[in-house]
């Protein structure tokens, strides 16, 4: 029932998006529509466990998982969008995609700045680089999703004052959830990166 309600909300918001008038507008929907969707999503989210690979990563890199003083949004101007896009493209080019091949409960290893890695490694590296560039950690959320083909996937969500943007290792373009084939499964809480919320 919850997922059905979310699907209806997403379809309604997607159908009502204004026509884009610039490259920036192509990726960002109006704040009012995004705010309405956020309220709906918050009512459907519930606490859940963090992915095991992420929990291990945080134990090894506590500074990368420290809670911010308060949740923040990125002020999305032309420079900020250009930086987000540049980081997305540069990390996508720097890491050669290679799935984890280990076995057992710890087979999914989450790494920072590897030469080769899977989707989580792209996400952590993008998040780290944006934090180093001055973006608030509470606006950079790791999200676990499912592709249209039913495959598990991770992306970075950048929370901005013009809506949430998705950085995906499968694409050089930065866009919204409506421009992806992803269904959100769980996401970090902006209050605390160690706390996760699920649909």
The reply to whether 29 falls in a domain is no
**Angle made by CA atoms 132, 74, 133, in degrees to the nearest 5:** 15
Query: In 3D, which of 124, 153, 123, 158 has the Cα closest to residue 140?
Result: 158
Total structural domains within the chain: 1
Per the structure, the complete domain to which residue 144 belongs is given by 47-198
pLDDT, position 33: 42
The reply to whether 11 falls in a domain is no
Q: Tell me the β-bridge partners of 142.
A: 156
CATH of the domain at 101: 3.10.620.30
The reply to whether 116 falls in a domain is yes
Count Cα neighbours of 183 within 13 Å in the Cβ-side half-sphere.
15
Q: Each residue of 117-146: pLDDT tens digit?
A: 999 999 999 999 999 999 999 999 999 999
The reply to whether 7 falls in a domain is no
The reply to whether 9 falls in a domain is no
* 87/184 Cα distance (integer angstroms): 22
The reply to whether 35 falls in a domain is no
Whole-model pTM: value is 0.78
Q: Each residue of 103-125: pLDDT tens digit?
A: 655 678 999 999 999 999 999 99
The reply to whether 22 falls in a domain is no
The reply to whether 139 falls in a domain is yes
Q: Each residue of 41-72: pLDDT tens digit?
A: 444 578 999 999 999 999 999 999 988 777 78
């Amino acid at each position: 029932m919850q997922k059905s309600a979310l699907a209806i909300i997403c379809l309604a918001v997607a159908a009502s998006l204004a026509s884009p008038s610039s490259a920036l507008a192509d990726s960002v929907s109006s704040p009012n529509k995004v705010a309405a969707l956020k309220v709906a999503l918050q009512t459907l989210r519930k606490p859940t466990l963090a992915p095991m690979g992420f929990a291990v990563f945080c134990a090894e890199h506590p500074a990368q998982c420290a809670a911010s003083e308060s949740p923040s949004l990125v002020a999305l101007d032309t420079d900020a969008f250009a930086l987000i896009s540049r980081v997305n493209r540069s990390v996508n080019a720097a890491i050669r995609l290679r799935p984890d091949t280990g076995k057992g409960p710890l087979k999914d290893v989450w790494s920072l700045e590897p030469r080769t890695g899977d989707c989580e490694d792209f996400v952590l590296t993008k998040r780290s680089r944006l934090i180093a560039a001055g973006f608030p950690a509470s606006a950079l959320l790791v999200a676990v999703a499912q592709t249209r083909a039913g495959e598990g996937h991770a992306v970075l969500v950048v929370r901005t004052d013009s809506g949430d943007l998705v950085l995906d290792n499968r694409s050089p373009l930065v866009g919204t959830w409506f421009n992806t084939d992803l269904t959100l499964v769980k996401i970090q809480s902006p209050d605390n990166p160690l706390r996760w919320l699920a649909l």
